[in-house]
Chain A
Amino acid sequence: MIRVELAKLFRRPRTYVIAGLLCGLPLIVAIFLATTKIPPPPGQGGAFLSAVLSNGALYPAAAMALVLPVFLPVSVAVLAGDTVAGEAATGTLRYLLIRPVGRTRLLVAKLLSLIVFVLFAIGAVLVTSYITGLALFGATTSSAGVTLPPDVTSLSGVTISPAGLVLRLLGTVAYIVVSMLGVAAIALFLSTVTDSALGAAMGALAVLVTSQVLVTLDAAAAIRPYLPTRYWLAWIDFFREPVLWRDIERGAGIQLVYLVVLLGAAWANFLTKDVAN
């Protein structure tokens, strides 16, 4: 079933359009930065953006920071909202179910294909932004003639070796995938509730926006650790020296809790739901 879902994912032009848009934003930002050379003031604007001008190899990290807060969750919500509701709308859901594909299996396959999408999209962003960064902000050539990123300064001032940078970027990718699990689970659950893919996506986005607002609100401090977006930016801690695992662990934990609860709710709802439209 997962193979089928992946085939569907990668045969849809939509997948590539979304990935293209995700890659496009960092590209536009890079072009403006490279032409004007006006970095955002330190501590403001996107993380790492001010450091990028002197160090193109850090651009993938900056691109993550650009894409993560809005663009990536929106696209995940749109795709996840479409999973069940979209199949219901094209009339293919009933044919899958009478094939028969178990309903639980269908949900899990949908979720896995969403994870693959996030990996694919982030991978695309990383590769394009790395090339963009080196092309627009500079690179150094090692004695072996291989183009290597110049040593990257961690947030703690110590340099990160190229190998360390690759490891940290991999950790970042893994963490961002985990961060998107919560969004995917919310939209997936809503997708089993409504037959409108758009409604499910909007519902998930409404939850995220609410969460983002509450995260910044001191009056809501009591519930802050439980908000799905609270630890979204914790991947930045991969670039501290030593790596600060505290928020990363908590963020992963909270996403898993959201995943378990909402996937459970989707399962409870979908398994006894009438498929009629």
Chain B
Amino acid sequence: MIKTKDLTKRYGRTTAVDAVDLEVREGDRYGLLGPNGSGKTTLVRMLLGLVFATRGEIEVLGVPVPKRVREVLPSIGAMVEGPGAYPNMSGRTNLALFDAAGPGSMRRDRRRRVDEALERVGLAGIDRRPVRAYSLGMRQRLGLAGALLRKPRLLILDEPTNGLDPRGIHEVRDLLTALNADGTTVFLSSHLLAEIEAFCSRVGVMDRGRLVVQDQLDLLRTPTGRVVVGTPMPDAAVALLDGRVEGRDGDLLTVRHADPGALNTSLVEAGVTVTSMVPERRTLEQVVLDATTGSSDRVEARA
């Protein structure tokens, strides 16, 4: 669906996006994770032909961008760096205007499509109030409705849950999951690790313009070779496992062991009661920390 090669964008001396090879496959729920200023938004803008790359190639839905971007844009729903709407008009008017502005929009069913999109994002009951009076969350939902207006094949969403409350975030996640199940590829960017971890099947991590990690989420979360064992008899277990216990937190022991099954057997045979047994996997946070070198917004004193 999206493929970039050596994609680079420089603003003067600063390099916002540095040699990124992005790959989003059909049906993916792709999450692009990175702190503010890591180049996510610039990358998204380049995918949509808003910003032009200094170097590199982009292909979206099999078509080169920006050369033929106008062919694919009708099949893409997008939200870039927050919603944009004419503040003096109602949300409904805004959607209708944006719909009328572009090609291939039927006037006949515009009303119905606008209503459907508003319904999907939970704004079915909005009145004629101008967008000026909307809360940040409402605007965010309106932006999302705009992206959904023409049943896109690909959704490109930059920070889609900004300004939403936890319930709103949950609703949006459910909506995106449902769309994805219907065959829409979803590409979203966020600086919130938990959000990506909760929704995405594939993850890319940006760090100072570079794409440092890109893989399936389950493949990234490799087993650490440790097992977390819960037991009411921790002392006995420690004595038995002798030196392989790497951490102890009350009744929970972190044990270095390759095979949880064998560990369980040996503990039970030794008469140690086991209440839980979980093989430890790397957290996404760990993945990110390993891949990145330092906080991008930290300013170190010069030596």
Contacts and interface: CB of A to CB of B under 8 A. Distances in A.
Question: Touch between A and B in complex, CB under 8 Å?
Answer: yes
Interface of A: 1, 3-4, 7-8, 11-13, 90-102, 272, 274-276
Nearest to A7: B97
Contact of A98 (B41, B50, B52, B103): B50
Contacts of A99: 73, 98, 101-102
A166 B118 CA distance: 50
A97 B50 contact: yes
Contacts of A98: 48-50, 73, 76, 78, 80
A91 B82 contact: yes
B89 interface: yes
B100 interface: yes
Nearest to B102: A99
Interface of B: 41-42, 45, 48-52, 69-70, 73-74, 76, 78, 80-89, 93, 97-98, 100-103, 146
Contacts of B88: 11-13
Shortest 3 CB-CB contacts between residues of A and residues of B: A91-B84, A99-B102, A100-B73
A8 B86 contact: yes
Contacts of A275: 45, 50-51
A259 to B, nearest CB: 24
B97 A8 contact: yes
B162 to A, nearest CB: 13
Contacts of A13: 88
A90 B101 contact: no
Contacts of A92: 84-86
A242 B93 CA distance: 51
Given A90-B84, A100-B70, A276-B42, A3 B50 contact: no
Nearest to B150: A99
B89 A96 contact: no
8 contacts: A8-B97, A90-B87, A93-B84, A94-B48, A98-B76, A98-B80, A100-B74, A102-B70
Contacts of A4: 97, 100-101
Determine which residue in A3, A92, A93 has the highest number of CB atoms from chain B within 10 A of its CB, and name it.
A92
Contacts of B49: 97-98, 100
Given A90-B86, A91-B81, A91-B84, A101 B101 contact: yes
Given A4-B101, A92-B86, 7 more contacts: A91-B82, A92-B84, A94-B45, A96-B98, A100-B70, A100-B103, A274-B45
Contact of B93 (A11, A274, A276): A11
Contacts of B101: 1, 4, 96, 99, 101
Contacts of A100: 49, 69-70, 73-74, 102-103
Nearest to A274: B51
Nearest to B103: A100
Contacts of B74: 100
Nearest to A12: B88
A3 B101 CA distance: 8
Contacts of A94: 45, 48, 50, 80-81, 84
A274 B69 contact: no
B52 A272 contact: yes
A101 B89 contact: no
A102 B76 CA distance: 16
Given A4-B97, A98-B73, A275-B51, A90 B85 contact: yes
B182 to A, nearest CB: 22
A11 to B, nearest CB: 6
Contacts of B76: 98
Determine which residue in A4, A7, A276 has the highest number of CB atoms from chain B within 10 A of its CB, and name it.
A276
A95 B84 contact: yes
Contacts of A97: 48-50
Contacts of A12: 88
A91 B70 CA distance: 20
B156 to A, nearest CB: 9
A102 B84 CA distance: 18
A12 B85 CA distance: 13
A93 B48 CA distance: 13
Contacts of A8: 86, 97
Nearest to A14: B88
Contacts of A272: 52
A3 B82 CA distance: 26
B45 A276 contact: yes
Contacts of B89: 11
Nearest to B42: A276
Contacts of A91: 81-85
Contacts of A95: 80, 84, 98, 146
B193 to A, nearest CB: 25
B158 to A, nearest CB: 10
Contacts of B86: 8, 90, 92
Nearest to A93: B84
Contacts of B98: 95-96, 99
